[in-house]
Amino acid sequence: MKIIKFTIYTFIVVAVFSLTSCADMLIGDEGKYDEDIYLNYKTKTVLELPFDDEWYITAGGKSLEENHHFAPHRHQRYALDIVQVINRRGNTGDGTKNEDYYCFGKRLNAPGDGKIVTVVNNIEDNVPGILNEKQAWGNYIVIDHLNGEYSCMVHFKKNSIIVAVGDNVVRGQMVGQAGNSGNSTGPHLHYHLQTTASRSTGVGLPMQFINYYADDVFTERGEPITSQIIRKN
């Protein structure tokens, strides 16, 4: 499948993630819907954007209309999908190679202080447009922020992760490079916050980042949403 323009790429990312997801009732431990419990959650961890330069939010927000993650997956319902764009495109050429994409191989950083509790680093990167549904997260890390919050950074480039289980990391520290592994149609970063280290038991949490620009407007503390161009202060 050739990905010719960024707008097409964005559509494919959203459509495929939506169609391959499993339905979930999203009922919390208190017998209420998760959105009733967590929708107005205030992040405990001091988080900053986990990358350098400008990136574009292809999916993010607190509703299904804004964010295709919201309904299907309980653990990642407030997740962000993020790419880099130049002149409204996410890639050069015809987009058939990972190297065509601006974000492929770019530095990714720990969004907050914590301890690495999970690392997968040996999954092959996909050919753009082809999914690896059997290893949905591909190469990824989970950071325990030691306060009941866990950061999940997903789809790293194969063998690019430079931290190990047990390592302590600090906000802004490099942890690896953006890739296209797992359930991914093209190079991007998937990031979300959840209540445990496990996909089966974790519940997704809203995440607020500090000191960043969204569409050139400074935000002291906020939550990026679909179609914003964001960068650190």
Q: Which pLDDT value is given to residue 39?
A: 84
If residue 193 lies in a helix (H) or strand (E), which one and from where to where?
Answer: strand 189-194
Separation between Cα atoms, residue 206 and residue 211, nearest integer Å: 17
Separation between Cα atoms, residue 125 and residue 115, nearest integer Å: 26
Q: Which pLDDT value is given to residue 73?
A: 78
Q: 54-95 pLDDT, tens per residue?
A: 999 999 998 888 888 876 678 998 999 999 999 989 999 999
Nearest to 127 by CA among 96, 149, 104, 81: 96
pTM of the model: 0.86
Q: Which pLDDT value is given to residue 32?
A: 61
Residue ranges of the chain with per-residue pLDDT less than 50: 1-31
Q: HEC states along 85-138?
A: CECCECECCCCCCHHHECCCCCEEECCCCEEEEEEECCCCECCCCCCCHHHCCC
Q: Which pLDDT value is given to residue 38?
A: 86
